[in-house]
Structure 1
Amino acid sequence: MGQSKAEHVIRVGVVDDEALVRSGFSLILGAADDIEVVATASGGDAVGTIRRERPDVVLLDIRMPDVDGLTVLHQLRMMPNAPVVAMLTTFDTDEYVLTALHSGAAGFLLKDTEPAQLAHLVRTLAAGGVVLSPKASRALLHSHPGAEAAADEEAARVKLLTPPRA
């Protein structure tokens, strides 16, 4: 039977103080058969809207004028059956990346993420994965002393375990 939506639809909430960002993300994600934006809110309305609509994934602006995104993240993480939350920012060197991840965020996305990648990233989050935009990943590595050296060391260990090809 010809259904227009996929069997399991990922319910998404978008929280941002800018209406244009909320609308843009809603339009992009709404084009996917397996994703439905069920909630949009600005900072002050975020927690109540998310509690009421119960999305699976929330894309949450980290910097909003009326309420801090980290505060909203903390409140959402306290909910029973809390949604998966990925933080949104316009800054690729945002100092809140580590704080957000340590506070339970499952990802960190730049608002200029390619539209074609956005649905894939939401699916990854809904499946229990962690997503970091490439620019945010670089900022995270550079802001954490020794992280690049540790990554290089891990890569060297993997090479030792991998037998050479004949």
Structure 2
Amino acid sequence: MGHGAIRVLVVDDEPMVCAHLRTILGSAEDIEVVDEAHDGAAAVEAVVRHRPDVVLMDLRMPGVDGLAAIERISVLDRPPKVVALTTFDADQYVLRALRSGASGFLVKSTPPEDLIGLVRVAADGHTVLSPVAARRLVAASSDAEAVRERAESLVSRLTDRERDVLACLGGGLSNARIASKLFLSEATVKGYVSRMLVKLGCANRTQAGLIAHDAGLVSR
């Protein structure tokens, strides 16, 4: 196992699912599964003990569920990237998980090679969320009107350029792609993203991207 291996914690109340994920991720030379947990409380303890880079978190578990665990993990010092695991992709639990600090989500039926790639993407700090999925989740949200008003109020604090960058985040673009689309340097884009996260009160790019969808900045 390489020194710079991505450390992953797998959380699911079904041991078979954990075993399946361990097998897939263990086949990648740059990924190390450091532990598994079967409920949210054990997941928080395992994060504190192992300091993983990425947590794959099932949302629906008895006792302390994945949502509560994500909320607890996101307030830790230097929290890991949390990717929600779900059985079906229009699950409203997923939207709540993303708003609570998850950096994306995966459907459990994701093909093995895609799963490995997405864990690497999450470890790099990028969003594990397709724009199509984000749009579908936001459209299915039951409190759409209140959410839209809150998002528009937050976005009104941004400069025009920051709004352009935010719309790109909502479209799932990387800093490099935002830079080329808006004719900026990558360093400038990084600066915009950092300032924007502070202004919007967001923990990560995913939360900012959701605000872009909520406020209607991302074209259909």
TM-score tier, shorter chain, comes to: 0.7 to 0.9
Amino acid at match of 2:51: R
Aligned-partner Cα distance in 1 for 2:130–2:13: 21
Deviation for aligned residue 1:132: 2.0
SS in 1 for 2:92: coil
Deviation for aligned residue 1:49: 1.6
Partner of 2:43: 46
Q: Which has the higher helix share?
A: 2
Deviation for aligned residue 1:91: 1.9
Deviation for aligned residue 1:118: 0.7
**Larger RCO: Structure 1 or Structure 2 (Cα < 8 Å, ≥ 6 residues apart)?**
1
Amino acid at match of 2:68: T
Amino acid at match of 1:151: V
Q: Does 1:117 align with 2:114?
A: yes
Q: Does 1:143 align with 2:140?
A: yes
Partner of 2:27: 31
Map residues 60-139 of structure 1 onto 2, 5 A cutoff.
60-132=57-129, 136-137=133-134, 139=136
Deviations 1:21-68 (A, max 9, x none): 111101100100100000100114211122111111000011101222
Instruction: Note if contact 2:70-2:102 (Cα within 8 Å) is conserved in structure 1.
Output: yes
Deviations 1:76-121 (A, max 9, x none): 1121121110111112210122211111110111111111101110
Scaled by the length of structure 1, the TM-score of the pair is 0.80
Cα distance change on mapping 1:33 and 1:83 into 2, 3 Å: same
Of 2, 6, 9, the residue aligned with 2:5 is: 9
Cα distance change on mapping 1:135 and 1:29 into 2, 3 Å: farther
Instruction: Note if contact 1:93-1:139 (Cα within 8 Å) is conserved in structure 2.
Output: yes
Amino acid at match of 1:115: P
The alignment's C-alpha RMSD in Å is: 2.3
Aligned-partner Cα distance in 1 for 2:108–2:131: 12
| Identity among equivalent pairs (%) | 48
Number of residue pairs matched by the alignment: 149
Partner of 1:59: 56
SS in 2 for 1:130: coil
SS in 2 for 1:152: coil
Instruction: Note if contact 1:14-1:58 (Cα within 8 Å) is conserved in structure 2.
Output: yes
Q: Which has the higher strand share?
A: 1
Structure 1 gap segments, 5+ residues each: 154-166
Scaled by the length of structure 2, the TM-score of the pair is 0.61
